[in-house]
Amino acid sequence: MKNQRNLFAQLKHACREDWREYCEHEFVNKLGDGSLEPACFRHYLMQDYLFLMHFARAHALLVYKSETLAEMTHAAGVLNVLLAGEMSLHVDFCQSWGLSRTDIEAVEEQPANMAYTRYVLERGLAGDCLDLLVALLPCTVGYAEIGSRLSAQYSKSLASNPYRKWIESYSTEAYQASSLEAIAALDRLALRASEERFESLCKTFRQATRLEVGFWDMGLNPPA
């Protein structure tokens, strides 16, 4: 990597068209202007619950793959936030949209969800911490970028937006800080990596970003 302290920026630039399609997807823009069909959002919420479970598993794998106590502590901290905080908050949020815990735990996992989560886990199992973190970052950092953009772009209409709470949850200082921490963790790992790995890491980043696009596509197409 030309600048190992700025690996995320390099990956994002190399995959800029895929990243733009992900962060400016129709699903995202409809969230921002409040025009997304409620059925689409409920479908997304239920699938996102399953996604978060696998996301937590991936961070547990990150703990196992870590080579230093500091890396283990950071990964374990994210895992704890997911299990002890975000999962419960997600259930509460689903309930505010008329979805019970029984509803979301009984939902059938969609192929787009399965493809994404299993890809992330596969990269972690086959590679090292750097491979796994690169596969995880499109979600962590992408949602921060999306939340920040939507909050600013639609600030005047946000008060009446039915998706306001979702947008605000990803534009908070706490979530933005967690995104920056993930980027910093990536940079620390990149210091141990050779420049020759960039193409492989870029392939992983691009694929994970494309799978995020597929996740939004899935959200726009709820089952009949």
Catalytically annotated residues: 139, 212
Residue that has been written with the tokens 């694929």 in this structure: 207
Determine contact, residues 221/110, Cβ cutoff 8 Å.
no
* Euclidean distance between CA atoms 15 and 8, whole angstroms: 11
Residue 47, token pair as written in the block: 């699938």
* Euclidean distance between CA atoms 35 and 50, whole angstroms: 25
* Residue from 73, 50, 51, 48 nearest 62 by CA: 73
* Euclidean distance between CA atoms 99 and 95, whole angstroms: 5
Question: What is the separation of C-alpha 79 from the centre of its chain, rounded to a whole number of angstroms?
Answer: 14
Determine contact, residues 170/141, Cβ cutoff 8 Å.
no
Distances (CA, A) of 55 to 15, 75, 119, 153, 169: 22, 12, 11, 29, 18
* Euclidean distance between CA atoms 56 and 29, whole angstroms: 27
* Residue from 136, 14, 13, 127 nearest 65 by CA: 127
